[in-house]
Amino acid sequence: MNKPIDSSLLSPADAYAQWQQDYAAGIGVDKSVRNRSGVPIQPIYTERDWNAAERGADLGLPGQAPYTRGIYATMHRGKTWSQRQLTGLGTPVEYNARLREVLANGANAISLLPCNSVFRGYDMDESHIELLGTCGTVINTTSHMDQALQGVDLAKISCAQNDPTPFTLLAFMLATARRRGTDWRAISGTSNQSDYLSHYVANHMFFRLALPGARRILTDHIDFCTRLLPKWNPMSVVGQHTQQAGATPAESMAFTLCTAIQNAKDCKARGLDPDQFLPRFTFFFDVSISFFEEIAKFRAARRIWARITREQLGAKDPRSWRFKFHAQTSGVDLTRQQPLNNISRVTVQAMAGILGGLQSLHTDAYDEALSCPSEFGARIAIATQNVLREEAHLTDVIDPLGGSYYVETLTDQMQGEIERVMKVIEDAGGMYAAVEAGLVQAMIGESARKFQHQVESGEQTVVGVNAYAMEEDSSARPINARPDRAGMQSLIDDFKTFKATRSQAPVQQALDALARAAGDVKDNVFARVVEAAEAGCTHGEICHTLRREMGFGHVQAVV
């Protein structure tokens, strides 16, 4: 080519051919690119890939099936996403102080993160003191929950509980509400970790009971909440764990949707009406730094869920077809090296979630990769959301990327990949069967290995780790706050005193009733858990009773 051509004189077909020529000449050796889900990515997308005239109907409008562009007509412009920061450290009193700060700085919803000992179903006096309160708040009784939520009006502030089956922390919160005279019907929030299947395959930390017991209690929980807590979302189907464990974004979404189908079927089998429980099904996802892939993933999911709820689950109410989700920026993408870079990573991840149409967002602190986030880091995380909303004005336009050739094509392709994986699961007999058989775990392990290989070979750059690395001054890394040992010891002492001085008869009766309920399919185990919380039983006592009756959860170790 010697003379540049005036391309405005070319027909569209010739112009495209011209571009192809110029591109090939200019690019030299082109690389073949695939996103994390394996979808091949082109250098450019045009109406040849996605034609609005043909496909516009598939797209729909916000608030209308299939909801590709958003589940509500107004989306963030009408009501901004919930700024729901996950917080937890130390003793209930220490937690309360941090919580009030977070609320004062702009968070409008709470997500309580309990200590790992609580996740594992142990009371503080059964645990190594070194490990108490280092990653979350220690809460073992109703009084602890009351202290933790001092000054928080449960009727006004939405509070998510990150507590797996048997949902003791929600039970403590309900008991607290009763003490305060707050009407349960006003309480809003989510049982964030109610998805026992995702725990079994990918975050077994949360897995306390054997599979069949966990399955039963989930249905009891949904039943109870549907009747008595109309503003509470008892079902949060979790994609975060599988994606963090190494599943690709498409796989993780597929596993999540299949789990939702499984849980919905279990509820239907119990006799519950889909239009009663589906509107209270929410989803919880990891948002990785693969920007466009994540946006497409969420848009595709809305379309798939709208179809499944209508066609497979028989829901008639449009509120049942809406795919509502909370997203957390992915800690897996963050690095220990040059940690301040994590601020830019979190910003990109948050944008992907917002442009993907989430309802609620948690942004990680930059020091998440080092240990429990510091106050300093937590403040920046909240500010990030404020900047995106109020300086970058990301709430002004609904689904701003809608109609983009790339984003629409990618949405279709992600939908195809998600549905392909869903079929593998359905062919294996559904999510419960696939998990029992170890199929899902094997798929996750394979994807994790592949990604590790890509990072080790340098194919996937991680700034500061396998590229752009530099000598760092380790003194520049923040020192991790550890809970005050004396304060923790004092909490343990008070706890022992509480156990010794409380009235034992109601405690024993409540635990016996709980044990009986575990063996009686007509009884509601979660209702008995709530009663046990009100009678003064501790978290450990409740968990041990159920483990004894229903079996300790042992996950498969698949390497």
Partner 1 sequence: MNQAVIPKVLVTKIGFDGHDRGSRVVAAGLRDAGMEVIYTPPWQEIATVVKLALEEDVDVIGISSLATDHLIVPKLMDALREAGMSDVAVIVGGIVPDQDEAVLLQAGVARVFHPGSSMAEIAECVHDLTVAGRARRVAV
Partner 2 sequence: MSKRTPLQTVWQVPPALLAGERRVIARAISQIEHGELAPGVVSTALRSHLGRAHVLGITGAPGAGKSTLVHAMLGELLARGRRIAVVAVDPSSPVSGGAVLGDRVRMGEHGAHADVFIRSLATRGHLGGLSSSTEEIVDVLDAAGFDVIIIETVGAGQSEVEIMRVADTRIVACPPGLGDSVQAIKAGILEIADLLVVTKSDLPGADSTVRDLKDMLHLRARPAAGAWTVPVLGTSAEKGADVAALLDRADEHLAATGRARRLKARPAPKVEPAAGDVKARVLAMAAADPFVRSLGISCTEAGPGTATVAMTVGAQHLNFNGTCHGGAIFTLADTAFGLASNSHGKVAAGIDAHITYQQAARAGDRLKAHAAEVSRSRKLAVYRIDVTRADGLAISSFTGTVYVTGIDVSVPAQETM
Residues in contact with partner 1 by CB under 8 A are 115-117, 119-120, 127-128, 130-131, 134-135, 203-207, 244-246, 335-337, 369-372, 445, 448-449, 452, 456, 462, 465-466, 474, 477, 479-480, 482, 554-555, 557-559
Query: Which of partner 2, partner 1, none does 325 bind, CB closer than 5 to 8 A by kind?
Result: none
> Quick one: 25 or 559, whose CB is closer to partner 2?
559
Element (H, E) at 287: strand 281-287
> Quick one: 392 or 558, whose CB is closer to partner 1?
558
> Quick one: 127 or 137, whose CB is closer to partner 1?
127
- Contact present, 543 and 208 (Cβ < 8 Å): yes
> Quick one: 505 or 557, whose CB is closer to partner 2?
557
Query: Which of partner 1, partner 2, none does 120 bind, CB closer than 5 to 8 A by kind?
Result: partner 1
Contacts of residues 60-66 at CB distance under 8 Å and 24 or more positions apart, as own/partner, are: 62/398, 62/399, 65/306, 65/310, 65/318, 65/321, 66/302, 66/303, 66/306, 66/307
Report in angstroms how near the CB of residue 7 gets to partner 2 at its nearest: 54
Query: Which of partner 1, partner 2, none does 138 bind, CB closer than 5 to 8 A by kind?
Result: none
Query: Which of partner 2, partner 1, none does 131 bind, CB closer than 5 to 8 A by kind?
Result: partner 1
Query: Which of partner 1, partner 2, none does 509 bind, CB closer than 5 to 8 A by kind?
Result: none
Report in angstroms how near the CB of residue 16 gets to partner 2 at its nearest: 47
Query: Which of partner 1, partner 2, none does 51 bind, CB closer than 5 to 8 A by kind?
Result: none
> Quick one: 57 or 559, whose CB is closer to partner 1?
559
Structure tokens given for 454: 């890509």
Report in angstroms how near the CB of residue 187 gets to partner 1 at its nearest: 29
> Quick one: 500 or 557, whose CB is closer to partner 2?
557
Report in angstroms how near the CB of residue 120 gets to partner 2 at its nearest: 15
- CA separation, residue 112 to residues 63, 139, 194 (Å): 30, 10, 14
Query: Which of partner 2, partner 1, none does 64 bind, CB closer than 5 to 8 A by kind?
Result: none
Cβ burial of 19 (10 Å; 0-12, 13-18, 19+) is middle
Give the binding site for partner 2 (CB under 8 A).
552, 554, 556-557, 559
CA triplet 478, 350, 455: central angle to 5 degrees?
Answer: 70
Report in angstroms how near the CB of residue 244 gets to partner 2 at its nearest: 22
> Quick one: 100 or 554, whose CB is closer to partner 2?
554
Report in angstroms how near the CB of residue 554 gets to partner 2 at its nearest: 6
> Quick one: 5 or 433, whose CB is closer to partner 2?
433
Between strands 33-34 and 40-41, the pairing is: antiparallel
Q: How far is residue 233's CA from residue 84's CA, in Å, rounded to a whole number?
A: 15
Contacts of residues 375-383 at CB distance under 8 Å and 24 or more positions apart, as own/partner, are: 375/98, 375/101, 376/478, 377/478, 378/85, 378/87, 378/98, 378/102, 379/105, 380/343, 381/85, 381/346, 382/83, 382/85, 382/102, 382/105, 382/106, 382/107, 383/105
Q: How far is CA 61 from the centre of its chain?
A: 26
SS3 content of the chain, % helix, strand, coil (to 5): 55, 10, 35
Query: Which of partner 2, partner 1, none does 305 bind, CB closer than 5 to 8 A by kind?
Result: none
* Count of CB atoms situated within 10 Å of the CB of 390: 12
